[in-house]
Amino acid sequence: MTQPIQRVAVVGAGNMGSGIAQKSAQEEFDVQMVDRELQWVERGQSIIANFLEEAVERRIFSPAQVEAIQGRITGVVGVENTAENTDLVIEAVFEDFDVKTAVFTALDEACGEGTILASNTSSLSVNALAEATGRPDRFVGLHFFYHPAKNRLVEVIPAKASSPETIEKVVQYCKMLGKVVIVCADRPGFVVNRFFVPWLNEACLLLEEGAANAAQIDAIACKAFRIGLGPFGLMNLTGPPIALHSTDYLAEQLHTPRYTGAANLRALVEANEQWDVSEDAGYSDEQYTAVSERLLGVVFGVAAQIVEEDICSMEDVDRGAKVGLRWARGPFEMMNRIGVGEACRMAAAYAETAGQGWSVPAFFTQQGTTPWDFSYVDTTVQDGVATITINRPEAMNALNVTVVGQLTQAVAAANANDAVHTIVLDGAGKAFVAGADVKFFVDKIRADAIPDIYDFTAEGHELLNMLETSSKTTVALTTGLALGGGLELALACDYRIGTRRTQFRFPETSIGIYPGLGGSQRPARICGIPVARWAVLAGNFMDANTAADLGLVTHLVDVAGVDACIKTLASEGKPTEKYPGQPANPASPVAKFASTFFTDANMAVLMNGDCPEGFDKEEKIVARQIKSLSFTAPIGLRMASDLIDATATTDLQAGLKLELDGLHTIFSTKDALEGLSALIENRRPTYTNQ
């Protein structure tokens, strides 16, 4: 990998530009916030200050963190004064082609030849903008969603001339912002607006036709799409003029008269008013069917058109809806739920209504009633290295039945490929893998189907065993969040590469269960039993340095050094000692504390909730451990402790069998259901030791 982006400039200090600048500074990039006049730069800085002040009140950031974030943002007056050595400039000015190209002309002169230019645009042609920049190979379109410091979606739109290096660096920058990235083709509306904007306009047309009032249409849309705000409420929030401009633009660019802004929307904008959503929202069954089928029909049809035009994959369309719009399900997931045949009928009915320039893609009608298959695991092979990426960033790459099945197939294929000597596991987005799908466990417990949990976990063990016993060198790229099952997956690999953004944790005992994918076995064999107790029983968060000191991260590198590290490990081959049984750095504060606090002699006292002799329970580090243990489920804690103890007298395979053998017992407890349910419901569990 080439040197990653570090110095970022954002041109335009309005709501969008200041939000991009803020988010970049939060993630430790050096930021210039550029505008034409000092007053606009200062306004942008005050917008950021207000957001960060609110974040302090909500305890998201400390005052010291806010000071550091603001310290990374430099105000710059005049585009021509953008620093020459800037790595990436994001233009976020008014959505007008001529205004944007004038900015790019000035930037092309001010910036060094290595600077990448990007336009934050929701609609304009990226290819046309690229030609206007003077450096089309170092240009890319970006579409951040409002508010960019909060909304996790970004669409990356390469121009035809964008170099692979440009795309790679910009995608990496977006991922380092913690964004879910959709790389898509340069077509009007890109991905999300392509189906979302016609959905808004169709709501206006339904109102115009008298199918229902605005409040009823909103209520029906909320139910049909499982969303919190209907189309009229959303337009009131973002501004009806944006909806009108967007839908007129799509109508013109796509030669689709149906998308021309509805007359009532046009009149509303001319009168500078908002939609009246105060009427009675109660609706009849007939109204529900008429409105919901029309709104679903347009979304289903356009989603299929996006895939047919090769703008992006089905999975990315769904990702856009769930992450960018916060819909409960994406269009293709909704089709599977309703029935693909029924969804196609709705799209065909909409096609008849829409008329000229609108048709249902052939692959959609040919699908019949067969559900769509989704792929969440991607494999690439280059120079003998198979990189297997879990691509489910909208769910933090959580492990479910589908993901485990697809991962197993991918690892088996890599193991069987004689051209592959190294397997690298990676996670798309900000997480490696943020654990297992907790809702699956809750649903199975409530359905009295605990054997299904056992089978799922046993399949996970088979996957991890394939990594454990692989003849290839196996590497986990734990360069983000690795929790629970994700951390267990990583520990089955020979090596774990971390960066400063790495975070590890075993949360299981605090949610009513114990780690069931090797988490009670591998940590103790890697860094010793006392340290494993510190990590697993007390569920302590581990930053990159702590994880490296303990040996759970084997190689801690800068982001720029990840590729070189993989090459080195690939050439060195498998480790001579995967399970040394002691911390990598025994002298580190955490290792020293854990090895004296979580000794065999102290465990009976600690399991009883008391402070061991020789320690001051008022001391912060001691008090935190006792408090953490007090928040755990007693049965889960006891079983986890026994399983860790078993590592002293068993080999790995025997220990893993013990872990599996206890699953029915732990998932049958009331505390397991309580802890897992509390996690989903975002509340603190109350355990009864039952």
Active-site residues, by number, are 122, 143, 155, 193
Q: Annotate 373-435 with DSSP letters as a single string.
A: P---EEEEEETTEEEEEE--GGGTT-B-HHHHHHHHHHHHHHHH-TT--EEEEEESTTEEEE-
230: phi > 0 → left, psi -120 to 50 → alpha, else beta; which? Answer: beta
Cis peptide before 555 (omega within 30 of 0): no
Count Cα atoms within 13 angstroms, Cβ side, for 605: 15
Distance CA 446, CA 588 (A): 44
Q: Which of 457, 454, 514 is nearest to 489 (CA)?
A: 457
Contact 374, 330 (CB under 8 A): no
- Strands in 3-138 per DSSP E: 7-11, 30-35, 73-77, 88-91, 116-120
Q: Which of 633, 635, 629, 589 is nearest to 612 (CA)?
A: 629
Residue type, 473: T
Distance CA 384, CA 644 (A): 37
245 sits in which H/E element: helix 240-254
Report the DSSP pairing between strands 30-35 and 73-77: parallel
Contacts 24+ apart (CB under 8 A), 129-136: 129/97, 129/100, 129/101, 129/104, 129/159, 130/159, 130/160, 130/161, 130/162, 131/161, 132/100, 132/101, 132/104, 132/105, 133/101, 133/104, 133/107, 133/108, 134/104, 134/105, 134/108, 135/108, 136/161, 136/162
For the record, the structure tokens of 95 come out as 């959505």
For the record, the structure tokens of 48 come out as 């950021």
Distance CA 376, CA 189 (A): 25
Residue type, 217: I
Rounded to the nearest 10 degrees, the angle between the axes of helix 438-446 and helix 670-681 is: 130
Please list the residues that pair with 35 across neighbouring strands.
77
